Structure formats: structure tokens, C-alpha cells
Amino acid sequence: MPESNVTNILVVGIGGQGVMTATEILAEAAIALGHDVKKTEVAGMAQRGGVVSSHLRFGPKVLSPQIMPGTADLLVAFEAAEGLRWCHYLKPGGLVLMNTAQIVPPVVDLGLYDYPPDPIAEIRAKGYRIHAFDAMKIALELGDVRLGNTVMLGAMADHLPFPADVLLEAIVKRFRARKPQMVELNQKAFEAGRTAEKAAAHAKETETA
């Protein structure tokens, strides 16, 4: 059976930002709806601030977990330069959702990679759509920087082929089982991410009008 109607989401960032947790929650939401789900990750020194990428594919039938360059529907960048580094994975018309927070990875300190001066402008110059906002600032305003991944999940919520409530329920279910005292705060972070993404999209539309 060939693949059809498969959604490809690539999530990238730096170790410690919750990239893999966010992808796991997305996968749980897709599984809850009966999708065939496959994912794969690369985490280079994730606990030491290394780069992390997580591929998630779901649909009626998925043959491989690997997203090929030029085929991603959505690129979710938890860190600005990582968004630029992976944007060639997007298909034509694909969208980048970016946390504008800049975290310089160890490869820059080692002189192996120059941090780009304006990742957002470079992505736009390549012809990709991008909605960008500071998810780290929102998380800090809510009282815990670790909420950043839930903020980014909220940003994705209205760009998925299923209702936002399904994703929110996957978040609530996870925290209800592990940290019930964090359920309400994560609900707020999720809605804050949705609001911030909509504002970023509106700002971009106004800019190009």
C-alpha cells in the first residue's frame, strides 16, 4: 500500500528545550485519532545543549519515519538558527513556526559553525513562509522556562489536520498522569502559544499587504 495523505512535521532545536517531548505528545495525539505514526530522532549531546531534530510522520499508512528534504509540511524550530539550518526540508508552501530565542550551540563555540546574523530574514529570502515569536519570553512570563515546548505545541495546534482540542487533551493526559499540579499551567501555555502564533501570522499578513 503506497503512502498517501501523510503529514510530515520536523521539530528542531537545542537539547533541553523539550523537542523530543513535544514530538512524543504530537505522536500521542495522532495515535489517539487512529493514525499510523512513525518518528525518528537525532540528539547530539542533547543534555549538553547539542542540536536535536525529531521527525514525525502520520497518516493512514506510513512506511518510513524519515522525512526527506523538500517534503515537510511544517517545520517547528525551537531555536532560530536551527530553523534556518533545516528549512530546506520544507515542501513548497510549507510553513516555519519559529521560537525567536537564540541559543548559541556548542558547534559555534568550537568554531565549526557561524551563528547567522538574521535567521528569519534568511529563511524568508529562501522563499519560505515563517511565523516567528518569542516562546521563551512567554514561558518565562508564565513562570517556568520549561513551558516553552507547550507554548510551541500551542503554536502548531491550528496547523494540524485534526482539531486543536485533540492535541491539548494529549498534553493534559500526560501531565495529569505525571505532574497533575502542572496541568493548568500547561493549558495556559498552550493557549498562549496559539495566540502568539496567530498574532505573528497577522503581523506577517499586515507587513505584506
pLDDT of residue 206: 62
pLDDT of residue 102: 85
The cell numbers describing 171, all together, are 498534553
User: b or e along 132-165 (b: 16 or more beta carbons within 10 Å of the residue's beta carbon)?
Assistant: bbbbbbbbeebeebbbbbbbbbbbbbebbeeebe
Give the integer Cα–Cα distance in Å for 6 and 1.
13
pLDDT of residue 136: 95
CB 153 within 8 A of CB 147: no
Sheet strands side by side (includes 51-59): 36-43, 51-59, 7-14, 72-77, 90-99, 129-133
pLDDT of residue 38: 96
CA-wise closest residue to 106 among 119, 97, 95, 115: 115
- How many residues are listed for the chain in this entry? 209
Which residues on neighbouring strands pair with residue 96, listed in sequence order? 75, 130
- The H-assigned helical ranges of the chain are 19-32, 80-86, 106-109, 119-125, 135-141, 148-156, 164-178, 183-208
pLDDT of residue 4: 77
pLDDT of residue 44: 65
pLDDT-flagged residues of the chain (< 50): none
pLDDT of residue 113: 74
Give the integer Cα–Cα distance in Å for 185 and 192.
10
First to last CA, the chain: 44
pLDDT of residue 207: 65
Going from the C-alpha of 99 to that of each of 143, 151, 190, the distances in angstroms are 17, 9, 14
pLDDT of residue 128: 94
pLDDT of residue 185: 96
